[in-house]
Structure 1
Amino acid sequence: MTKAELTQEISNKTGIDKRTVLTIIESLMTELKESLAQGEDVYLRGFGSFIIKRRATKTARNISKNTTILVPAHNIPAFKPSKEFIKSISELDTIKN
């Protein structure tokens, strides 16, 4: 599902015009990015957590040049779904099969 499709679905289900829904979705994404950039995790009860994971320094290989390179430590954003979310998805899987 794309952002446009999500906007359309929310608009259809709530009766709120698409432009307002899109503004809310954009605001949510902006706030998530800003919070994570400041090192703050975002917890959405019943849905999941947006967290920052720290990756340690590691050595990697450049296969085409046959050399070893050092990948510095860095942070990456990650999503950890809640137990309720995982349960709802696994229930969908059993319904489809």
Structure 2
Amino acid sequence: MNKHELAQLIAKDAEVSQVQAAAMIDAFTANVQKALKKGNDITLVGFGTFKVVKRKARVGVNPQTKAKLKIPARKAVKFVVGKTLKEAV
């Protein structure tokens, strides 16, 4: 499912226009990004939690050349599935 299809479903369920539904999706994603950038977790009870985790530096291998390369430490976004969503799937 892509953003357009999701906006159609939200528009139908929330009885709003598709443009308003797309704006809601944009606002949600923008605010999740802002919160994660500040280092905050976002928990939607029953759905899941978005959080920033630190990945350690490591050595990787290029599968084509077999050359070793250093992968630097970085931050990554992790989504932990909530109980209700896990049971629904």
| Identity fraction in percent | 24
Specify the alignment match of 1:50 in structure 2: 50
Task: Tell me how far 1:63 sits from its aligned partner.
Answer: 4.0
1:38 aligns with 2:26: no
Structure 1 runs, 4 residues or longer, greater than 4 Å off: none
Structure 1 residue identity aligned to 2:20: T
Q: Which has the larger radius of gyration?
A: 1
Q: What is the CA–CA distance in structure 2 between the aligned matches of 1:29 and 1:83, rounded to whole Å?
A: 22
Runs of 5+ consecutive residues of structure 1 not aligned to the other structure:
90-97
After superposition, the CA RMSD in angstroms is 1.3
Give the structure-2-normalised TM-score. 0.90
Deviations 1:2-34 (A, max 9, x none): 111111111112211111111111000000111
Instruction: Classify the secondary structure of the residue corresponding to 2:20.
Output: helix
1:8 aligns with 2:8: yes
Task: Tell me how far 1:62 sits from its aligned partner.
Answer: 2.6
> How many matched pairs?
89
Structure 2 residue identity aligned to 1:56: K
Q: What is the CA–CA distance in structure 1 between the aligned matches of 2:84 and 2:63, rounded to whole Å?
A: 42
Task: Tell me how far 1:48 sits from its aligned partner.
Answer: 0.3
Task: Tell me how far 1:84 sits from its aligned partner.
Answer: 1.3
Task: Tell me how far 1:86 sits from its aligned partner.
Answer: 0.3
Runs of 5+ consecutive residues of structure 2 not aligned to the other structure:
none
Specify the alignment match of 1:92 in structure 2: none
Specify the alignment match of 2:67 in structure 1: 67
Specify the alignment match of 1:88 in structure 2: 88
Task: Tell me how far 1:55 sits from its aligned partner.
Answer: 0.9
- Bigger proportion of residues as helix: 1
Give the structure-1-normalised TM-score. 0.83
